[in-house]
Amino acid sequence: MTLNSPRGTKDFFGNDIKYRNFIINTARQLFSVYNYSEIITPAFEYTEVFSRSIGEGTDIVQKEMYTFLDKKGRSLTLRPEGTASVVRALIENKLYSDHLPVKLFYIGNMFRYERPQKGRMREFWQLGVESIGIGSSIIDAEVIWLLNSFFKQLGFRNLILFVNSIGCSRCRVKYILEFKKYLKPFKGELCFDCRNRIDSNPLRIFDCKKDGCRKILEDSPKIQSFICSECKDHFEGVLNFLKILEINYKVNPNLVRGFDYYTKTIFEIISSDIKSAQNALGGGGRYDDLINQFGGPDIPATGFAIGIDRTLMLMKQQNINFDIKKEGPKVYVIVMDKNYQSFALEVVKFLRDKNFACDINFMIKNLSSELKWAEKNSYNFAVIIGEDEVNTGNITIKDIDKFKQYKINWKSQKDKIIKLIWSEE
């Protein structure tokens, strides 16, 4: 019997790893420019961490969590998202007691028992930020700015940034009453899921992709007409800062998010080039009540999460190429006979000690097939160690990109090797 990976999971290797590392390295670098520092939390938490924060009525908590009992009968859940864990860690470690805002980022795998399809996995990877402790709209703008800069830096075009305000817990109550009243006569026309959502999580109906439900929503009351003056001012403040930062956005009154904890500003970045329903690359929003609900201080917060898998998929689809040379020149040492391996190893050691990405052929084959392999695998230089090289002490260096060849004396001209390889940059 052959064993396969579980449905909805994926192995990463080869080129995908390069894309992934590029995405993650870009994020790390950008997050530090915006002064966010990393936090690592466990991949599983007590179930309550998620059910209390994300909301009992949400799809995630009702249907999608990987929940299990440990050997002592405690209910644990593989994290379906990052914010709840960060908030738990913030409170437990009192990270809020020094300076506000606390600006954190995370990179990690998330787990949701969803129906797998293109861009939707059961284990997927996210990177996200949380900015905790400040309620004013300048922080919303900073977080959106960072989300936007990240995708710009990766080289994406054709992205649409949607923003909306869903008001605070007070104004939302009034809205939901009105919204439910509006939906009542249409109950029979809504899809099965949305019918259930009327009581459990009515805002989620805005997320339904079915034409019938979307039609019903066209004339529904919109939250904008219900938000209080404080929420309104806050949202106008955010939009104003976005204008100052020259960030293009679209206010989307139908935008909702899948978690209960959001308040006021929410946002999502989508690609108009992804034709499937799974076109959101990242999103987030404010969650002003969550930390207090968790038993922490009454401090507001905001954040976002980006899907690494979808970002990678879109980068490949759009042929967004990052410059592989940024990794530095790569050297392949080709040794032509087992007896010359110790000589070759000396060369490899020298190059690796100088931090060049370097490998050697561990299996002796013919030169032309080795050179072809090196070229195909983005090596910039090949160093050839054959009979002539061993006898004369002059190694052959082939510049694969420039089709040039050099002979350099191994004992007396080591510096020349380094200069030659670096001149590739």
What is the Cα–Cα distance from 425 to 422, expressed in whole angstroms?
Answer: 6
- 124 is an interface residue for ligand AMP by CB under 6 A: yes
Stated length of the chain = 425
Cα–Cα distance, 240 to 67 (Å, whole number)? 43
| Closest to 18 (Cα-Cα) out of 258, 326, 301 | 326
Kindly state whether residue 114 participates in binding ligand AMP, applying the rule CB under 6 A: yes
Please select the residue that binds ligand AMP; options are 19, 39, 81, 239, rule is CB under 6 A.
81
Binding segment toward ligand AMP, per CB under 6 A, in 112-120, 181-189, 324-332, 412-420: 112-120
How big is the site for ligand AMP, counted in residues (CB under 6 A)?
17
Would you tell me how many other CB atoms lie within 10 Å of the CB of residue 221? 12
| Shortest CB 307 distance to ligand AMP, Å | 2
Kindly state the smallest distance separating residue 363's Cβ from ligand AMP, in Å. Answer: 39
Q: Which stretch binds ligand AMP (CB under 6 A): 30-38, 221-229, 277-285, 369-377?
A: 277-285
Among 18, 20, 28, 120, the residue binding ligand AMP under the rule CB under 6 A is 120
* Range 279-318, binding ligand AMP (CB under 6 A): 280-283, 305, 307, 309-310
Label residue 40 exposed, middle or buried (CB < 10 Å: 0-12, 13-18, 19+): exposed
| Nearest CA among 292, 31, 287 for reference residue 142 | 31
Distance (Å, whole) CA 65 – CA 67: 6
Closest among 33, 20, 34, 15 to 107, alpha carbons compared: 20
Per CB under 6 A, does 398 bind ligand AMP? no
Residue type, 253: P
79 binds ligand AMP (CB under 6 A): no
Least distance CB 314 / ligand AMP (angstroms): 10
Nearer to ligand AMP, 16 or 401 (CB): 16
Smallest separation (angstroms) from ligand AMP to the CB of 308: 8
Of the candidates 320, 347, 322, 321, which has an alpha carbon nearest to the alpha carbon of residue 333?
Answer: 347
Residues near ligand AMP (CB under 6 A) are: 81, 112, 114, 119-121, 124, 126, 258, 280-283, 305, 307, 309-310
